[in-house]
């Protein structure tokens, strides 16, 4: 049994997902709540407190799965028979697991791209009934509440395909996405529809977050912005019923408000050149995180790394206890095997749980850190607010290596979207908005080209 996890249990840090009691007992195969009797399986020293799966018994083990397991075992240096057999079993499990959330299922199933370099994304055939009777619903947005007349902005809108058929921009008469502006007299403002192609085909029931470039109307006033779908002739064929209320100010009024202090000042990030190497970019993030940990002057420092996968970056931070938390039990089990084999001295424990509902005691940790993880959450401000409750009042959250972009067209992003994984890209101003919505203030923000790194504190 993992000694750090046993210590966290003994200190009452791990809570029952059902009754929130902290009287839990652990064996090699089971975690049990003594208060309500809830139980969770333990595989390869990883308690699975998510454990909301449908398991297919009919999945066959083909040559591809065996080849994938062999490749992963080679990458993780787990080629001894006793280890490689466990790697194969983990791969079998990952291929059979599904849950009610398709994006979580994709995170659990997709092991190949985590370990094996991928070629360019391959698109499926377009269904013959694609784009028929389109319907959409707007789920959330990151538009500012006020904007200057004529100003061009980039803001993300998350929409859901509520129709029965696939949306596709790849046909000659493909659908496109846009937003329309409607004035106070319920008239649509002409000339502001900017068509955007979908990066992939959007299945019925699926949601996607789209960065939208749009220009505010020239005339000041109160407007509503509606997400909409355009046909090949750029005519609106579907429009979301709910709209976004936005105050459009004249440039003079906007300056006047700022002079009077009615507009919030936004702390400016520090900008640096792009770090083209993925590993070096993450190494810089680890160094920044280490600097903040040292400021706490606390030993040992207790840290949660959310979305850690197999290889939590924070494990190399000195004098720290690391709880690696992820929704993918297969990834965590591979990480547990790897660290048991090669780094048994590191003070790290692995826990499968939902970061939206972490089964952890409030204010029990000094820091929460994420590396290239936050943008995968459909509601990033919600998960940040939940996680902020886990840190002590003088602790901090670190959001590291978040992609900044104005489109979803990079090959890696498209590949993950095709695999069913939720991918989003935000501007640094939208990240500021997300942090504020979560009740957090920016202590430091660094942008290396298109990679954002931020240290966040709880608002007093």
Does the predicted TM-score (pTM) go above 0.95? no
Here the tokens at position 386 are 């939940």
Given CA atoms 268, 451, 144, 410 in this order, what sign does their dihedral have? positive
CA angle (446 as vertex; 364, 430 as ends), nearest 5? 80
CA angle (295 as vertex; 293, 301 as ends), nearest 5? 40
Contact in structure between 87 and 60 (CB atoms under 8 Å): no
Peptide bond into 77 cis (omega under 30): no
Nearest to 314 by CA among 389, 369, 392: 369
- Model confidence band, residue 253 (pLDDT cutoffs 50, 70, 90): low
Q: Which residue segments constitute the domains of the chain, with CATH numbers given?
A: 136-259 (2.60.40.10), 270-307+355-458 (3.40.50.150)
Contact in structure between 182 and 233 (CB atoms under 8 Å): no
Return the pLDDT at 446: 97
Of the given ranges (15-29, 255-269, 416-430, 433-447), which has the lowest mean pLDDT? 255-269
Give residue-wise pLDDT tens across range 287-311.
999 999 999 998 899 999 999 999 9
Helix then strand then coil, in percent of the chain rounded to 5, is: 25, 30, 40
Question: 30-33 and 24-26: which strand pairing?
Answer: antiparallel
Cα 453 from Cα 371, distance rounded (Å): 9
Nearest to 234 by CA among 195, 187, 179: 195
CB neighbour class for 24 (10 Å; exposed up to 12, middle 13-18, buried from 19): buried
Here the tokens at position 415 are 């590949």
Cα 27 from Cα 23, distance rounded (Å): 14
Return the pLDDT at 109: 86
Sequence-distant (6+) residues with CB within 8 A of 14 are 5, 8, 22, 24, 351, 359, 360, 361
Of the given ranges (193-197, 257-261, 269-273, 359-363), which has the lowest mean pLDDT? 257-261
In sequence order, the β-bridge partners of residue 207 are 160
The mean per-residue pLDDT over the stretch 196-208 comes to 97
Angle of helix 102-109 versus helix 81-96 axis, rounded to 10? 160
Return the pLDDT at 259: 45
């Amino acid at each position: 049994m993992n000694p750090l996890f046993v210590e966290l249990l003994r200190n009452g840090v791990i809570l029952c997902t059902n009754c929130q009691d902290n009287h839990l007992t652990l064996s090699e195969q089971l975690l049990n709540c003594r208060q309500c009797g809830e139980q969770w399986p333990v595989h390869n020293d990883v308690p699975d407190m998510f454990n909301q799966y449908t398991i297919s018994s009919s999945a066959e083990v083909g040559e591809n799965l065996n080849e994938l397991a062999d490749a992963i075992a080679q990458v993780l240096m787990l080629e001894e028979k006793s280890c490689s057999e466990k790697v194969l079993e983990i791969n079998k499990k990952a291929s059979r697991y599904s849950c009610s959330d398709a994006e979580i299922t994709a995170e659990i199933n997709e092991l190949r791209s985590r370990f094996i370099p991928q070629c360019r994304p391959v698109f499926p055939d377009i269904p013959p009934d694609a784009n028929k009777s389109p319907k959409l619903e707007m789920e959330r947005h990151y538009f500012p509440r006020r904007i200057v007349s004529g100003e061009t902005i980039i803001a993300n809108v998350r929409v859901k395909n509520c129709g029965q058929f696939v949306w596709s921009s790849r046909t000659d008469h493909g659908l496109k996405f846009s937003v329309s502006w409607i004035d106070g007299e319920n008239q649509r403002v002409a000339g502001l529809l900017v068509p955007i192609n979908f990066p992939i085909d959007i299945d019925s029931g699926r949601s996607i977050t789209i960065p939208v470039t749009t220009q505010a109307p020239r005339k000041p006033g109160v407007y509503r912005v509606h997400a909409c779908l355009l046909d090949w002739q750029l005519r609106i064929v579907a429009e979301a019923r709910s709209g976004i209320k936005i105050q459009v100010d004249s440039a003079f009024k906007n300056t006047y408000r700022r002079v009077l202090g009615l507009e919030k000042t936004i702390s400016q990030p520090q900008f640096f050149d792009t770090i083209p190497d993925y590993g070096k970019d993450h190494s810089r993030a680890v160094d920044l995180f280490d600097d903040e940990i040292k400021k706490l002057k606390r030993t040992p420092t207790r840290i949660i790394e959310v979305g850690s996968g197999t290889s939590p970056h924070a494990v190399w931070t000195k004098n720290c206890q690391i709880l690696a938390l992820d929704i993918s039990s297969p990834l965590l089990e591979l990480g547990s095997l790897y660290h048991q084999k090669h780094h048994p001295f590191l003070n790290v424990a692995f826990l499968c749980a939902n970061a939206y509902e972490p089964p952890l005691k409030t204010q029990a940790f000094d820091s929460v850190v994420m590396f290239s993880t936050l943008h995968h959450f459909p509601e990033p401000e919600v998960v940040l607010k939940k996680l902020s409750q886990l840190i002590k009042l003088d602790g901090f959250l670190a959001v590291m290596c978040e992609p900044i972009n104005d489109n979803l067209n990079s090959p890696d992003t498209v590949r993950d979207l095709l695999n069913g994984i939720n991918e989003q890209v935000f501007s640094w101003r939208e990240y500021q908005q997300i942090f504020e919505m979560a009740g957090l203030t920016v202590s430091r923000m660094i942008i290396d080209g298109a990679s954002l790194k931020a240290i966040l504190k709880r608002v007093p």
